[in-house]
Every structure is written in structure tokens, then in C-alpha cells.
Amino acid sequence: MNRVAGIHRIALQVGNLDQVSRFYRDLWGMELVRADAQEHQFRSHGVAEPDLVFHAGPKAGLEYLALAVRSAADLDAILARVEKAGHKGLIAERSDREATLRDPDGNLVKLVVAPKAGLVREVAEPAQGPRKIGHIVLWTPQREVMEKFYALLGLGVSDRTARGMSFMRCNTDHHSVAFVDSKGKTGLQHIAFDVGTLDGVMHQKARLEAGGVPCVWGLGRHGPGNNLFTYYLDPAKTCIEFYGELEQIPDGEIPPEPRYWGPEHKGDQWGLAGPPPAAFTGEAH
């Protein structure tokens, strides 16, 4: 099946562009590849193109999620599937290389032809900063509806949890997009950056803490995805994760039988990290 290949780029709007940009350059460890008064573009160390973009603006939060597709033919096939399912009106813009849609929650989703999607270079550990953006998690009051829409883009459900999450994948990563139940809130819950192994996760943690950025949840090991996790807040209070050792699922196994994690699973397999803090669960907002 033609499907998206992974996260191509995430764009966020922020009130204080310079402050946020300094954080991602000097502390989070990404490469600032382009900057003007309105837009700063960052690149993780293992990918070909900028994968995180900030725009100055009053509406803080997710501006768009861009998902990579490998070819124009894949783009055509995915859009045909979306239209056939009755979502024709959602396709706001269209060119040969890119299409813009709105998902059922109203999030802007771009599909971008990017043949070099994913990791294109080895990053020696310990790296200063991420190899790539691995996944995004979105709040949603209609998780089933969102699952169905993203399935049209070619994502398959890996796992669901009693705590109200669905994890979806489109490449060998256990999840690239996930959803978490809300009472009405939509948009970004967190962005997760791949730093390889346990060593990578711990080096980043030490580096950030030395820079005055505390880890707000972790170190732990999640159930779904089995990844090592550490969470932080950027200056805009956006929740961001450095993770390692995410479960890899061979491409041919899409779609497998989704697993279900019952209420006994609290988020950390070890029982070391404790429950997620308010900054993560959204109770602070």
C-alpha cells in the first residue's frame, strides 16, 4: 500500500522566536540552517532537510505537521484514497510535490514528496542533539475518527492503551504519530526526538541538566514502543522528548494485530519514573 514514509517536518508558531531558537540551537543541539525575522529552520543531525521550523506569531502551538511521501505516485495514490473516502474537501492545496489537508481535528497536515525521507547519515554517539524527529503525539477528543483518517494516509495502528492512546506507524518505527484522548483539546501534546541508544538518552540528559534544563519525566521505559524516555519543556512550554531504543517492526508486518495495554500499565515499565507530571498530562493548561 502507498503510505507516508514518516515525519518530514513539524512547524510551530511561537511568541518569542529568538528565545525558543536559542534553546533549540544551544541546548537541544539542533543545527540552525536558516533564520530571518519570521522563520527559523532547524535540522536534526541524521536527516537531509530541516525538520523543525518555528514561525513568529501570536497563536502558539502546532502550525502544521508535514509527512513525507517517497514519490509523486505515492502522493497521488494517497490523495485518491482520501478523496474516495469522502474527504475531498479537506484537500486545501495541491501541487505535484505537496498537498495540504486538514485532519478531522482541524490540524494542518502536509504531504511532501521527499525521496530522502528518514535517516540519511550515521550520527556517531554520543551526539549533541537528535538524529531525527521520530514521532508526534496529538491531543484529540475523537481518537477513533483520527485513527481512521490517518489510516487513509497509510498509517497502521501498532498499539492502543486503556489510558486513552493510539500509536500508529508507517515505517519500521513502532510509532510515528500517536493520539491521546482529551475532553476537547486538540493539537500538539509532544514531539519526540530520536537519540539512538541508552547512552544517547543519558548523554543528552546530562548535557541538558548541566545547561539548566531539568528532565520533567523519566528516565523510564514506555510500554507501547518499548522506548527509553526522557521529557523536557522548551521555553514555550512545549513538551519534548529525547528517546532511544524504540521498537522496530519490519516493514512487511503492516498491519499486524494491534496490542492493547490495560490499566495496569502506568507509562513506565520499570515503575521508576512515577506517573506523568501535569506538564505532560495537560492538567496544567
Binding site for Fe ion (CB under 5 A): 192, 241
We find the least distance from the C-beta atom of residue 170 to Fe ion, in angstroms, to be 16
- Of residues 136, 155, 179, the one with CA closest to residue 249: 155
| Helix 72-82 / helix 143-152 crossing angle, nearest 10 deg | 140
Closer CB to Fe ion, 47 or 82, in the complex: 47
Give CA–CA dist 253/106, Å, rounded.
Answer: 30
We find the least distance from the C-beta atom of residue 56 to Fe ion, in angstroms, to be 27
Closer CB to Fe ion, 152 or 186, in the complex: 186
We find the least distance from the C-beta atom of residue 191 to Fe ion, in angstroms, to be 8
Closer CB to Fe ion, 74 or 173, in the complex: 173
Q: Say what the alpha-carbon torsion angle 266, 272, 274, 276 is, to the nearest 10 degrees.
A: -70
Closer CB to Fe ion, 18 or 181, in the complex: 181
Question: Hunting for cell 481512521 — which residue is that?
Answer: 148
We find the least distance from the C-beta atom of residue 192 to Fe ion, in angstroms, to be 4
Which position's Cβ is nearest Fe ion? 192
Give the neighbor-by-neighbor strand order of the sheet with 165-169: 217-221, 228-233, 239-244, 187-194, 132-140, 177-181, 165-169, 156-161, 259-261
Closer CB to Fe ion, 241 or 268, in the complex: 241
We find the least distance from the C-beta atom of residue 212 to Fe ion, in angstroms, to be 23
Give CA–CA dist 248/174, Å, rounded.
Answer: 6
Contact 20, 11 (CB under 8 A): no
Give CA–CA dist 28/88, Å, rounded.
Answer: 39
